[in-house]
Structure 1
Amino acid sequence: MEKVLLKGNEIIGEAAIRAKCKVFFGYPITPSTEVIEYLSANLPSKGGSVLQAEDEIGAINMCYGAACTGTRVMTASSSPGISLKQEGISYAAAVELPMVLVNVNRCGPGLGGLGPAQSDYFQSTKGGGHGDYRLIVLAPSKAQELYDYTMEAFDLADQYRNPVMVHTDGFLGQTMEPVVLKDPPKIPDIDRTWTVSGCKGRKKRILASYSLTNEIGESNNLYLEKKYKEIQETEQRWEAFHADDAEYLLVSYGTTGRICKSTVLNARKKGIKLGLIRPITLWPFPEKGIKPLISQLKGIISVELNTGQMIEDVKLSAECKVPVHLFRRQGGMLPTEDEILENVEETFQLKNNKEVNL
């Protein structure tokens, strides 16, 4: 175990190496490029391989092929590049291929800019490609979580035979912070009888997503739906910050979730009982962290770096029993803790100790 200073994207690369990732396929795109650069410099010496594909479409299909062998594989990109990978991601989910996807989210739409954003929330959590499928999506908010969640992503991918996304952004990817490089846990023993490894002496295995009949198609989808429900039940993760006695609640993840902690502390100094639920899994969305608080809350604000995407899941969790509002910045702009607190005070009319039940 050692403590080092690394850029966020480099931390992801180091975590992948220590998680025994053996192959990486990608295509450079700012602000994620340091992931492939770091792995190119360091993975080969650890017995792995890195290949810069001809484009993002080639990269995700290479991941598909490697995952079919049971090899730990990862790709990384930023928003437009992740869009190009969506067809391959849908295929991988349909065939239940474990792989890790990293999205260093940049602002959009279109090419957008290089600043931090959360405008890929819908794409990440609702199945950005075609068909009914889900990704497990982990949302780090600091350097140590970039390391820990990247390593954990490989275990979750193997456990559920499902693609797992680490959803970060341009701020986290480019910021240098100290990180403790923990020793990785032992790779769990899992069933590998589905992998493609040469069929000499046994019946061949075919990993394909095509359904020859409607009956087979329905059966396959019902099977996947059952798996996703199991993930929803067992893998919801969140951080509760001063939420136990909160009368007002912020819900925010990633970079803004980090900023909101300072907002909560500043609000508490002013006598405002503000709390925070920071989703760690964007999918499954941690409704279990919000629902027990509903009876004590007078209002919720979803703090986001987009036009309002996660707020839909927050409203579903609130079950129309408490008002849910939105505070957002866009285009790569980050809010300050004071701006968020001012919005809390204005939304709930708390300035000068005036309080309104909405």
Structure 2
Amino acid sequence: MSEKVLMKGNEAIAEAAILAGCRCFFGYPITPQNELIEYMARHLPEAGGTFLQCESEIGAINMVFGASSAGVRAMTSSSSPGISLKQEGISYIAGAELPAVIVNIVRCGPGLGGILPSQSDYFQSTRGGGHGDYRMFVLAPNSVQELADLTLLAFEKADEYRTPVMILGDGILGQMMEPVVLPEKATITVDKPWATTGRGKRGKNNLVSSLFLNPEELEQHNFKLQRKYDLMKEKETRWESYLTEDAEVIVVAYGSAARLSMAAVNMAREQGIKAGLIRPITLFPFPDQPIRAQAEKGTAFLAVELSTGQMVEDVRLAVEGRSPVHFYGRCGGVVPDPKEILEKIVAIRALQEARSESTEGGAA
């Protein structure tokens, strides 16, 4: 087993990508993900790869398109406004069914915003972000160890489904340092007969494109993509449950917010409140099943986010009106104290008790 090393989150992603077989990285500097680019600039050429600081985020994502078309494991990274500039290219990559890994170390917005952490890019990531009926496989790590582990997974799933995969972090995770056991160097055995590597033994040229001028043909292509996304929902949904077996209030949170929420859940338990946590690890596909199962028991939910409320909509869709869904969020780079989340849990539990007493009184 490999020894633990102390690494910053951004650097752990970069090293894990190199170990995963990434051999082309194209990016443009923006805080708070710059350490990732800097690490790639130093170490990717040592592994026989190509690093290029591009003229813009638009140039970077289109270079990823080109490298991926040739069958190379390729990656780019940025932070919120930079990801916005990449959206057209991401849509093209999804339409052309190319594997690619995109890292977003989220900063607060809208607009230029600030360099502090946020989770306000949830809609952009989980709804595709660009034009057309497409989705991305979205992974949400909550530690430096998961940043490394899920980077390896991102490349594997990108190749398996021929789709763009996003690793959605934030300024806290990207900048924090924790011990991490780096993954083993990947052995890549994926066959890519579609890649534009010359005729070779195929005797024909490969064409990679997302252009379909025949409407019926384009419709069938869209249906094909949707079947792929449905398969992801069936096979790839990931989440973590914590103290949910007897929970009367369940917090739903991902990434940095989940770390804060777990502390709040533990404090609630110390006060005799049966609180639990469901942490989505895949944001698309979203873990509807465990949330729906708890909702059928009448459990109340609290979505906690570093935003004004985006994931809460997916929680409500999963609950389907079976249970109340509450929200608590801070934005603009403000990070909530676990005590703030605890106060919200206490208030929800008090509301539950008041409703229970009211129901019992009415029955009497």
Question: Under a length normalisation based on structure 2, what TM-score does the superposition of the two structures give?
Answer: 0.95
CA distance in 2, matches of 1:10, 1:329: 27
Match of 1:84 in 2: 85
Match of 2:361 in 1: none
Alignment partner of 1:348: what SS? helix
CA distance in 2, matches of 1:56, 1:175: 25
Equivalent position amino acid for 1:199 in 2: R
Match of 1:52 in 2: 53
Alignment partner of 2:179: what SS? strand
Q: How far apart are residue 185 of structure 1 and its match? A: 4.4
Contact 1:2–1:182 under 8 Å retained in 2: no
Runs of 4+ residues over 4 Å off in structure 1: none
Match of 2:157 in 1: 156
Match of 1:137 in 2: 138
Match of 1:300 in 2: 301
Q: How far apart are residue 200 of structure 1 and its match? A: 5.2
Contact 1:31–1:78 under 8 Å retained in 2: yes
Match of 2:216 in 1: 215
Match of 2:195 in 1: 195
Contact 2:29–2:37 under 8 Å retained in 1: yes
Q: How far apart are residue 354 of structure 1 and its match? A: 5.3
CA distance in 2, matches of 1:186, 1:323: 47
Where in structure 2 are the equivalents of 1:225-244 lying within 5 Å?
A: 225-244=226-245
Match of 1:10 in 2: 11
* Residue 334 in structure 1 maps to residue 335 in structure 2: yes
Moved more, 286-295 or 207-216: 286-295
Where in structure 2 are the equivalents of 1:260-339 lying within 5 Å?
A: 260-339=261-340
Q: Deviations over 1:115-151 (max 9, x none)?
A: 1100000000001000000100000001100110011
Contact 2:249–2:348 under 8 Å retained in 1: no
Gaps of 5+ in 2: 359-364
CA distance in 2, matches of 1:48, 1:40: 10
Contact 1:240–1:277 under 8 Å retained in 2: yes
Where in structure 2 are the equivalents of 1:110-129 lying within 5 Å?
A: 110-129=111-130
Gaps of 5+ in 1: none
Q: How far apart are residue 355 of structure 1 and its match? A: 4.8
Contact 1:348–1:356 under 8 Å retained in 2: no
Q: How far apart are residue 296 of structure 1 and its match? A: 2.3
Equivalent position amino acid for 1:197 in 2: T
CA distance in 1, matches of 2:341, 2:144: 23
CA distance in 2, matches of 1:64, 1:271: 53
Q: How far apart are residue 198 of structure 1 and its match? A: 1.1
Contact 2:107–2:114 under 8 Å retained in 1: yes
Q: Percent identity among equivalent residues?
A: 54
Match of 2:180 in 1: 179
CA distance in 1, matches of 2:293, 2:246: 12
Contact 2:298–2:322 under 8 Å retained in 1: no
Contact 1:304–1:329 under 8 Å retained in 2: yes
Contact 1:257–1:278 under 8 Å retained in 2: yes
Q: Deviations over 1:166-188 (max 9, x none)?
A: 0000011011111111314433x
Equivalent position amino acid for 1:136 in 2: F
Moved more, 175-184 or 148-157: 175-184
The size of the alignment, in residue pairs, is: 355
Question: Under a length normalisation based on structure 1, what TM-score does the superposition of the two structures give?
Answer: 0.97
CA distance in 1, matches of 2:162, 2:346: 45
**Aligned residues: CA RMSD:** 1.4
Where in structure 2 are the equivalents of 1:34-53 lying within 5 Å?
A: 34-53=35-54
CA distance in 2, matches of 1:69, 1:22: 12
Equivalent position amino acid for 2:175 in 1: Q
Equivalent position amino acid for 1:167 in 2: L
Contact 1:246–1:296 under 8 Å retained in 2: no
Alignment partner of 1:301: what SS? strand
Relative to structure 1, the CA distance from residue 296 to residue 184 in structure 2 (aligned partners, 3 Å threshold; closer, same or farther) is farther
